[in-house]
Amino acid sequence: MGSAALATLARRGHSVLGLEQFTAGHVRGSSHGESRIIRQAYFEHPDYVPLLLRAYALWDALSEQVPLPLIERTGGLMLGSPASETVQGSIRSAEQWGLRHEVLDAAEIRRRFPAFRPQADEVAVYEAEAGYVRPEAGILAHLLLALTAGAEAHFEDPVTGVHASAGRVLVETKAGGQYRARRAILSLGAWSSRLLDDWTLPLSVERQVLTWIQPPRIDPFLLSRFPVYVWELPGRVHIYGIPTLDQRTVKGSIHHQGQLTTADALDRTVAPSEVERYLDLVTPKIPDLGQQVSRTSACMYTNTPDGHFAVGMHPHHPELVVAAGFSGHGYKFSPVMGEILADLATEGGTDYPIGFLNPGRFSPEHPTPA
């Protein structure tokens, strides 16, 4: 989110500085692991759809500007029982916004996507526009555009203090830097609670484990055959996965259900039991995957109580913009978030319909206009 905001502000001609505590495209936050699902028939809420349509246009535009593979449309399956939130919510968003989609029964899923073994009573919403984006490349692309357009960016320069008053912001860094600006965007991922000053958002950080399995045969998992998927299992457990990117391994995980942690306390060592839980869930559904684990990685979700993002003006300080709580589904939005954050920082508002993301909803005594 930070690199996208930096690129947008620089392109619009503003004088802008990005401060990052680690290196460019590091693997210690929430935006690593090679791929992120992108889709339009959004089961989480139809209000995201206009933002998604803009995000798709911006991903395509970004792909024209930098020589990096950023977005791949593989098609996507949202699977579950007909009454599941994943299926119902996807249909609702697709119907409300007139998005192209198909509802497939179990026989049709098996015929068209043989790697998937749904039960007879399971269905799927298939969306041809779904696919994945590449988070590390996306960050580098945004940084490249930002720097080319005149932005400044400092890495390994942690921010230690943000003080806002009377239309000015003073930002201090560990290295002793002091920067004065008219506005600051606080886009801190899992570290958000630390710098939000006298106002604390109710955020929780959840550990997530990514697993790459090496199947005996890779053919069923090539992107021409294997769509991205989210599968809602009984008990509202979700597993998801992405076709092979390296012609050898297939990434997948459980969505949520992770241990609560903090950004600084995150244990990056993955225990065998964590992987086993994922294998137990995925193997009956996609048996061709096998059980040979190639590698794992730990990542973090920063969750709000309702699972929707917290994006808007800080309720106490009109100088500060907050972009937090992306709740495990934010990355696909990053280019449009760049525009939204740039609007908020320069205009104090945006034409994008983001009222439902208003961070003030968590502090009703200080509701903020979005």
The tokens for 362 are 């968590």
Examine residue 278 and tell whether it contacts ligand FAD (CB under 6 A).
Answer: no
Options 142-150, 264-272, 297-305, 358-366: segment touching ligand FAD (CB under 6 A) = 297-305
Shortest distance in whole angstroms from residue 332 CB to ligand FAD: 4
Q: Which of 33, 138, 312, 359 binds ligand FAD (CB under 6 A)?
A: 33
Instruction: Using CB under 6 A, count the residues that bind ligand FAD.
Output: 32
Residues of this chain, 170-229, that bind ligand FAD according to CB under 6 A: 187-191, 195, 208, 210
Identify the DSSP state of 236: T
Residues 240, 252 contacting (CB under 8 angstroms): yes
SS3 state of residue 260 = strand
What is d(CA 199, CA 183) in angstroms, rounded to the nearest whole number? Answer: 17
**Smallest gap, in angstroms, from Cβ of residue 38 to ligand FAD?**
6
Q: Indicate the residue among 9 and 299 with the shorter CB distance to ligand FAD.
A: 299
Binding positions for ligand FAD, 240-259, rule CB under 6 A = 253
Strand partners, 102: 126
DSSP state of 195: H
Give the separation between CA 324 and CA 131, rounded to whole angstroms: 24
Residue 300 CA to its chain's centroid (Å) = 11
What count of Cα atoms within 13 Å lies in the side-chain half-sphere of residue 286? 33
Alpha helices in 74-210 (DSSP H): 85-97, 106-112, 135-148, 192-195
Q: Which is nearer to ligand FAD, 261 or 363 (CB)?
A: 261
Binding residue (CB under 6 A) for ligand FAD from 158, 177, 290, 307: 158
Residues that bind ligand FAD (CB under 6 A): 1-2, 19-22, 29-31, 33, 36-37, 158-159, 187-191, 195, 208, 210, 253, 299-301, 326, 328-332
